[in-house]
Structure 1
């Protein structure tokens, strides 16, 4: 299990280094994810521990938002000034993302002709 966690941290650190040193215009976590993808493609073997660790992290993903929520407490003046605009922008961008996702899904289903399986009732 320690090996899997170490692999995740090494990839994240590599992403951070590439971002800072080489100036790659991607977030360090995305670069680290790409590094992990390259490693997984290069070293082909089963990784049950990596699957177990990533499954645990995904299951407890809500805990990862606690530091961000606590950080908002320090931003009281900025939230008081820009809070309504942030809420409106977040709501509109979420709705637009949902509309685009549904539109692309419908387009692909129509184009490929593979819709959901019909529901058979008895």
Structure 2
């Protein structure tokens, strides 16, 4: 029952992200709004980590399985994208590095901020 409650919390926040996406005319995916809402809820202690931790870990554990359907889709359209594969790989690598650097800098900022607050 605990997992159902945690999944329901995650789904409600995701749904609210979808609603926000419909009302705010920015080119930001609804899933990003949901992630931001979850972050805000966790940072402001509206939602405690323990209320979603186990289901969140489960979702992270099964994440690789979720990439199988898109991979099959790529195999199906390979003939159409074969001639532009070099730009696709370049963009994928560039954005991956950009996300890694941004995530690292953000994590460093948060860790340093928390350390300075503890002193």
| TM-score normalised according to structure 2 size | 0.65
Q: Which moved more, 1:18-27 or 1:50-59?
A: 18-27
- Kindly state the Cα deviation for residue 96 of structure 1 after the two structures are TM-superposed: 5.4
Structure 2 unaligned spans of 5+: 113-119
Partner of 2:46: 43
3-state secondary structure, aligned to 2:67: helix
* 1:75-98 residue CA offsets vs partner (Å, 9 max, x unmatched): 22322221232224434x168549
Distance in 2, Cα, partners of 1:3 & 1:22: 29
Partner of 1:9: 11
- Kindly state the Cα deviation for residue 30 of structure 1 after the two structures are TM-superposed: 1.0
Partner of 1:90: 92
In structure 2, the CA distance between the partners of 1:10 and 1:24, relative to structure 1 (3 Å rule), is farther
**Contact 1:4–1:53 (CA<8 Å) still a contact in 2?**
yes
Q: How does 1:1-122 map to 2 (within 5 A)?
A: 1-40=3-42, 41-43=44-46, 45=48, 47-91=49-93, 93=94, 97=98, 101=101
Q: Which moved more, 1:13-22 or 1:82-91?
A: 82-91
In structure 2, the CA distance between the partners of 1:43 and 1:28, relative to structure 1 (3 Å rule), is same
| TM-score normalised according to structure 1 size | 0.64
In structure 2, the CA distance between the partners of 1:25 and 1:95, relative to structure 1 (3 Å rule), is closer
Distance in 2, Cα, partners of 1:23 & 1:87: 30
Bigger Rg over Cα = 1
Distance in 1, Cα, partners of 2:84 & 2:65: 26
